[in-house]
Structure 1
Amino acid sequence: MKISLDWLRTLIPTDKSAAEIGALLTGSGLEVEGIEELESIPGGLRGVVIGEVLTCQKHPDADKLSLTTVDVGDGTPRQIVCGAPNVTAGQKVVVALDGATLYPSQGEPFKIKKSKIRGAASEGMICAEDEIGLGTSHAGIMVLDTPLPNGTPAAEYFGLGSDSVFEIGLTPNRADAASHFGVARELRALLRQPCHLPDVSKFHAPTAPIKKQNVVEIDQGNWVETRKEWYDDTISVTIEDETGSQRYAGLLLDNVQVGPSPEWLQRRLRSIGLSPINNVVDVTNFVLHELGQPLHAFDADQIPGGKIVVKRATEGEKFVTLDGAERTLRAADLVIAGAAGEPLALAGVFGGKTSGVSDATTRVFLESAYFAPAAVRRTAQTHQLKTDASFRFERGTDPHMVPIALKRAALLLQEIAGATIAAPIVDVYPTPIAHTLVRLRLPRVEMLVGQYIAPERIRQILTDLDILISEESEDGHEWILAVPPHKVDVTREADIIEEILRIYGYNHVALRPHNSASFLAKFPNPDPEVLRQNIARLLSGQGYSEIITNSLTNSQYFEKEGQPADELVRVLNYNSADLNVLRPSVLQSGLEILRHNINRRQRDLKLYEFGKTYQRDADGKYQEKNKLAIFLTGNATAETWQHKSEKSNFHDLAAAVQQVLAALGHPVPAPQPVQHPYLAGGLALLAHNQVVAQLGAVAAGVLKRLDVSQPVWYAELDWDWLVRKYKNALAARELPKFPEVRRDLSLVVDRSVTFEQLRQIAVRAERKLLQTVTVFDVYEGDNLGEGKKSYSVSFILQDPTQTLTDQAIDAAMQRLIGQFEKQAGAVIRR
């Protein structure tokens, strides 16, 4: 949300700088994410002053140039060569001094420097309006009629100023601050000085609708009778759905002249990033951002039957919005309709094409209303329409601001569009929204804040926040407060205390010199966050990049893969229909990241994420689990002059998984074929009959449905289990004093035999001397026989107490060979 400091100062006069105000707002919970400095015209006319031409004569070497001397107020006249035909002595002119940078209306900026023009020195430039960005005329220099002394900055003469614009990260609970007046109201409490609403005391509406005359022709058979009839110029309002619209006010304006807005209004809108459209629309936008109350302008002549009806839509009816799109309405949509029920606008969201203001409009019906947040949020979400109006209505507006905003807009349209008020304000308010009553216990304030705050200071803060004290207990320790409707998030005692603390200042809560507790908490060992940081450093050191994705995702990802609907954890998300479940797997959100990067030609990716998954079990209970996901795609190594690039493969992924397990003190669990629904082949690692990790290639169908155009390797580790079963992997041991020995075997076995089976056989057969078993080659060929393959395996043998003899080595290898032949049916290739 953008807030203009210049605009803000019209509501709360303050000499505080932008930085000071930004710090105050951030400290109170309205985080200022940035402050942008805006200038009326680029450069702000720095280095440009008012001067007076003292002398003017023809340039000795150029017929179309003049040689002038100009007083710029510093006691030293400047000699300036000027090419304008209208320059003459005695004129007040605009002078750009040496070093000034000018930003012309057309072309690139340029810097003024001392120079020689046709042999004559020139120490500045006398400017035309297009040369300083104030217009398009280049017929001659600007000649001023002003008593201002020479040397006065030109920006002062033209009334140019700069503005500071705050970018505020408005949180959803602070709907009360979604406008300039809302921020001014916040500063009122922080600065302890008054702020004020725009003056609407000059608003006067007729006590009854203005009578208009209409000529009616009546066919009498042989002749036509012409008759003049008088009628009331008015628009009536009916609220059929009081749940969706609790207050609806409107005002009819006549003689409206639609056209461009004045410069001051355009400047206000541009300062907060809005583009001016026309004076009627600009006024509604201006009032919205000034007071926080959305308005809508209808072409009154396009309201059928002269009647406004606030109702629910008819299921399936068609409606064309201002953007030209045809939308199918649902029965839950709140609409503004005409006399026959035809929709004119989506209430609080978007207007209709047929009833919008155009250049031909002369009669305008201004709408100012309070719509229920849930009704607007549902409609905006259903039709994927996010507007400045829906942003505010969804969070809650102030029902008391409805008539004030209407009067403010009417006065502005009288001023800039020649409008006249044709009828009294129509204000339908069946059930006024009352203040919320909240109990506040002063001892509770001290307990939650952690510091005593004097009751007088609390009373002052509440008064500045428009929160009234309606009752007090006899001992003064308990108050009943009346919270105004614009404080939509303040409904409980804790909310009141938060409001007090925001204004009192978090920085004013002193830390005690000795913090203590009455008990010692049992701290988990190890700290899960430390383990997470260690593994993050490990993977980042291997070239992986950490990602953080949204836990909210699209249910279609899982429904199309056959995931039972009752296992999904669904959420009612009015902000996005596509994000309607909590993810049961981290895979899909990671694939979205891969797709985004691959589509931008970043194809070689190594990513990891610590994320949560959510699911419902058979008993209907919700489960939340922590996972570590690893993604690998593209090339493992880049192409260089030394070697060609190599594609990432399963073993690269398995190596990363093994490193994680080793760092957490876990031996690689027993593998078995993976049964993961989204993986096409791979391994599942089991420990104590529990799946600890699953890794493999993502199924082609999954990749296609998420529009990922290249193979992806994926591993998912049960982070909760890994942390729970963590073992300190750092163990010191003495370096061996005696050498190790390597022996190799080539084993021909059935194709179904895995290396893991051979490794387990070796470990059981030689427990004393065998240190490691690795495979360095796998071969399949016709010469081995059908259904056979060959493993080339190396064995590292070592005795920590003595040097191994040939006899001990041969005995160990014979034991290994015997068990391979017996348990795996191996044939030793010699």
Structure 2
Amino acid sequence: MRVPLSWLREMVAVDLPVERLVTVLDELGLAVESVTSVGEGLDGVVVAEVREIGPVPGADRIRLVSVDAGADEAVQVVCGAWNFEVGDRVPLATVGTVLPGGMAIARRRLRGVESNGMLCAPDELGLPGGHDGILVLSGGATPGTALAEAMGLQPDVVLELEVNANRPDASCVLGVARDLAAKLDLRLRPPEPVVLLSDDARSVGEGVVDVEDTEVCGLFLARVLTDVVVRPSPPWVANRLTLAGMRPINNVVDASNYVMLELGVPNHAYDRARLPGGALRVRSARPGESLLTLDGVERRFEPGDCLICDAEDTPVGIAGVMGGASSEIGEATTEVLLEAAWWEPRAIARTSKRLQLRTEASSRFERGCDPEAIDLAVARFCQLLADDGAAGPIGEALDVRTPALPAPAVVRLRTARANALLGTALSDDEVRGHLDSLGFVTSALGGDGVCEVRVPSWRPDSALEVDVIEEVARLHGYGHITRTVPRSPQTGSLTSRQRRRRQARAVLVGAGCSEAWTPTFLAASLLERLGLSRADAVRVANPLVAEEDLLRTALLPGLLGAVAANAAHRNLG
């Protein structure tokens, strides 16, 4: 997961050098895989609008692209990427520019055609996103505008973290900030969106949401937004999504993705006008049903898959995985039905695996999302659109809960057990202090070092005493725990005869003797040359060498053979 440092600092005022911050995150179990500095070295990179795309004579892998870069004349560039079209806005590195990686842009001739600059992929600009294609910019920035200005880029650092499957809470910026605040004893500042409800706004009525599959859906929250204006996102939103590795699309979809990355709650926005009946129903799939998903693929379902359907019972989304194309947000959208839900993790994992469709949403749902953050996520979505003037009055939401929603876990923790497992000598107060700082609620049960721990809703992975002890270890710091080598059970030993042989060998070597390893099989002629009888030798039925078909009866032949071989090779040591 990619986390821009500026986004992280909005939630926790961490002011450490990047190198020290990386160490702290590693100590917390959030290994930093890479650190990327962005927003610097972009002088000379401007926004360009693609005007014309044509072939290059004699070449089938590159194209001749004509772009408007804000000058009087169009700029001609040869490009090997194919992921953009006429009308798209793309970054152009003009002649003379030196990109963040040190690449100098010069005027060049390719296949006899002059190229006056370079259209850039994200990694060439020092941005996340790889090298799979040119960076296609959202919004309507004027051609010729500096790229850093158009994207709202400021010097920043992007941390790429390895988030393990047992840490669903760390799949968002808030989760990482919570860990840092606890470790560094800083105040956590989560978003506190304020949604001004209006009596004139359209509320979600009782019949708008029908949850039939109560084994998979534990909570379903829906809210209607009216007077929605679909347009490009504000530059700061688009920039953060880009740094986090997501492509900006429009303000509604971007707000949905922004909330997921910030709070760890996947959600989905439907164009209500394209939703027959304007309502949603959650049920199990029937044999033979299918849906064209947002990625343009027709997918077929089996019983056990959970679907979101419209009022006519037609599927419009795969619960917890991906929405359908039929109700996709578009430029004509004016009314949005937003849904955020809690889905049973194993059910989402089964469907995602069977369909071979793993998404940002499914990866979070199958690990376990925080049901108590759903209200906050929906409010944050509404705030992002309202603050940008892209949504009208907001009405009440509808919250449907079922028995599938799990109750918070309560764990009995013994300080003595924690110290025994960790090899520490922590006091009761130290153990409880570490847990309280992470959002666990502890209460003493008597004075014998036992406490009751209420696990927060964002930590479904902590269900046992040993899980809670692991959290104590993370906050205490693995570096503060003395290293010990565990004893392994003794599975065998040398016999007394083996010990005597090894002792004798060591004494002889110490006295200057040499050990020789000589062949076991000998030729009859060699025994005769040394005056040894072959009558006592055992003949081998299937010798490796036909002439050497006798087992040795003495060591002398082999030793003399070794001396002769060493002398012949002048190895006299």
TM-score between the two structures when normalised by the length of structure 2 = 0.70
Partner of 1:186: 179
Distance 1:415 1:475 in 2: 52
CA contact (8 A) 1:11 1:198 kept: yes
Partner of 1:489: 461
Partner of 2:160: 167
Q: Secondary structure at the match of 2:197?
A: coil
Deviations 1:799-818 (A, max 9, x none): 665999xxxxxxxxxxxxxx
Q: Cα distance 1:465–1:516, how it changes in 2: closer, same or farther (>3 A)?
A: closer
**Residue 5 of structure 2 corresponds to residue 17 of structure 1:** no
Q: Which of 69, 78, 97 is matched with 1:109 structurally? A: 97
Distance 2:316 2:181 in 1: 39
Q: Which of 425, 438, 441 is matched with 1:468 structurally? A: 441
**Residue 495 of structure 2 corresponds to residue 522 of structure 1:** no
Deviations 1:181-203 (A, max 9, x none): 010011111111111211212x1
Distance 1:767 1:359 in 2: 98
CA contact (8 A) 1:244 1:372 kept: yes
Partner of 1:448: 421
Partner of 2:28: 28
**Residue 387 of structure 2 corresponds to residue 434 of structure 1:** no
Distance 1:302 1:447 in 2: 60
CA contact (8 A) 1:376 1:390 kept: yes
Q: After TM superposition, give the deviation of residue 34 of structure 1 in Å.
A: 2.0
Distance 2:555 2:26 in 1: 71
Distance 1:367 1:107 in 2: 48
Q: Cα distance 1:199–1:187, how it changes in 2: closer, same or farther (>3 A)?
A: same
Distance 1:108 1:525 in 2: 74
Partner of 2:346: 374
Q: Which of 289, 292, 303 is matched with 1:317 structurally? A: 289
Q: Cα distance 1:525–1:289, how it changes in 2: closer, same or farther (>3 A)?
A: farther
Q: After TM superposition, give the deviation of residue 510 of structure 1 in Å.
A: 3.0
Q: Cα distance 1:800–1:393, how it changes in 2: closer, same or farther (>3 A)?
A: same
CA contact (8 A) 1:172 1:395 kept: yes
Q: After TM superposition, give the deviation of residue 105 of structure 1 in Å.
A: 3.2
Q: Secondary structure at the match of 2:451?
A: strand
Q: Secondary structure at the match of 1:420?
A: coil
Q: Which letter does structure 1 place at the counterpart of 2:400? A: V
Partner of 1:691: none
CA contact (8 A) 1:33 1:168 kept: yes
Distance 2:7 2:481 in 1: 33
Distance 2:163 2:555 in 1: 73
Moved more, 323-332 or 292-301: 323-332
Q: What 5-or-longer segments of structure 2 have no aligned partner?
A: 46-70, 73-90, 100-118, 120-124, 126-140, 495-513, 527-534, 558-573
Q: After TM superposition, give the deviation of residue 369 of structure 1 in Å.
A: 0.9
Q: After TM superposition, give the deviation of residue 206 of structure 1 in Å.
A: 2.6
Q: After TM superposition, give the deviation of residue 331 of structure 1 in Å.
A: 1.3
CA contact (8 A) 1:3 1:165 kept: yes
CA contact (8 A) 1:772 1:795 kept: no
Q: Secondary structure at the match of 1:354?
A: helix
**Residue 6 of structure 2 corresponds to residue 6 of structure 1:** yes
Q: After TM superposition, give the deviation of residue 320 of structure 1 in Å.
A: 1.3
Distance 2:462 2:447 in 1: 25
CA contact (8 A) 1:280 1:297 kept: yes
Distance 2:385 2:177 in 1: 24
CA contact (8 A) 1:301 1:363 kept: yes
Q: Secondary structure at the match of 1:385?
A: coil
Distance 1:242 1:798 in 2: 80
Q: Cα distance 1:33–1:773, how it changes in 2: closer, same or farther (>3 A)?
A: same
Deviations 1:499-530 (A, max 9, x none): 11111111112358xx897xx9414469xxxx
Q: Which of 449, 471, 475 is matched with 1:503 structurally? A: 475
Q: Cα distance 1:510–1:798, how it changes in 2: closer, same or farther (>3 A)?
A: closer
Distance 1:460 1:509 in 2: 17
Partner of 2:543: 773
Partner of 2:196: 204
Partner of 2:336: 364
Q: After TM superposition, give the deviation of residue 3 of structure 1 in Å.
A: 1.5
Q: Cα distance 1:234–1:438, how it changes in 2: closer, same or farther (>3 A)?
A: closer
Higher relative contact order (CA 8 A, sep 6+): 2
Distance 1:284 1:235 in 2: 24
Runs of 4+ in 1 over 4 A off after TM superposition: 133-136, 232-235, 523-526, 731-743, 769-772, 793-804
Q: After TM superposition, give the deviation of residue 487 of structure 1 in Å.
A: 0.7
CA contact (8 A) 2:201 2:393 kept: no
Kindly name which structure, 1 or 2, has the bigger radius of gyration based on alpha carbons.
Answer: 1
Identity over aligned pairs, percent: 32
**Residue 259 of structure 2 corresponds to residue 287 of structure 1:** yes
Distance 1:419 1:273 in 2: 26
**Residue 219 of structure 2 corresponds to residue 195 of structure 1:** no
Distance 2:288 2:554 in 1: 86
Q: Secondary structure at the match of 1:395?
A: coil
Q: Cα distance 1:494–1:44, how it changes in 2: closer, same or farther (>3 A)?
A: farther
Q: Cα distance 1:236–1:795, how it changes in 2: closer, same or farther (>3 A)?
A: same
Distance 2:399 2:519 in 1: 92
Moved more, 416-425 or 367-376: 416-425
Q: After TM superposition, give the deviation of residue 106 of structure 1 in Å.
A: 2.9
Q: After TM superposition, give the deviation of residue 423 of structure 1 in Å.
A: 2.6
Q: Cα distance 1:378–1:735, how it changes in 2: closer, same or farther (>3 A)?
A: closer
Q: After TM superposition, give the deviation of residue 740 of structure 1 in Å.
A: 4.7
Q: After TM superposition, give the deviation of residue 732 of structure 1 in Å.
A: 5.3
Q: Which of 358, 364, 374 is matched with 1:402 structurally? A: 374
Q: After TM superposition, give the deviation of residue 304 of structure 1 in Å.
A: 1.6
Deviations 1:158-198 (A, max 9, x none): 98532222222211110011100010011111111111211
Distance 1:239 1:352 in 2: 18
Q: After TM superposition, give the deviation of residue 405 of structure 1 in Å.
A: 0.4
Distance 2:343 2:10 in 1: 28
Q: Secondary structure at the match of 1:34?
A: strand
Question: What is the number of residues matched between the two proteins?
Answer: 445
Q: After TM superposition, give the deviation of residue 434 of structure 1 in Å.
A: 2.9
Distance 1:15 1:258 in 2: 37
Question: Which protein is richer in strand relative to its size?
Answer: 1
Partner of 1:458: 431
CA contact (8 A) 1:741 1:798 kept: no
Partner of 1:387: 359
Distance 1:736 1:366 in 2: 83
Partner of 2:270: 298
CA contact (8 A) 1:738 1:801 kept: no
CA contact (8 A) 2:520 2:552 kept: no
Partner of 2:247: 275
Distance 2:246 2:486 in 1: 53
Q: Cα distance 1:794–1:391, how it changes in 2: closer, same or farther (>3 A)?
A: same
Distance 1:255 1:234 in 2: 22
Distance 2:555 2:321 in 1: 85
CA contact (8 A) 1:433 1:485 kept: no
Distance 1:280 1:802 in 2: 90
Q: Cα distance 1:19–1:739, how it changes in 2: closer, same or farther (>3 A)?
A: same
Distance 1:463 1:736 in 2: 72
Q: Secondary structure at the match of 1:35?
A: strand
Q: Cα distance 1:795–1:337, how it changes in 2: closer, same or farther (>3 A)?
A: same
Q: Cα distance 1:768–1:334, how it changes in 2: closer, same or farther (>3 A)?
A: same
CA contact (8 A) 1:27 1:505 kept: yes
Q: Which of 391, 402, 411 is matched with 2:383 structurally? A: 411
Q: Which letter does structure 1 place at the counterpart of 2:97? A: P
**Residue 319 of structure 2 corresponds to residue 347 of structure 1:** yes
Q: Cα distance 1:773–1:463, how it changes in 2: closer, same or farther (>3 A)?
A: same
Q: Cα distance 1:322–1:417, how it changes in 2: closer, same or farther (>3 A)?
A: farther
Report the aligned-residue RMSD: 3.7
CA contact (8 A) 1:105 1:136 kept: no
Deviations 1:642-697 (A, max 9, x none): xxxxxxxxxxxxxxxxxxxxxxxxxxxxxxxxxxxxxxxxxxxxxxxxxxxxxxxx
Q: Secondary structure at the match of 2:399?
A: strand
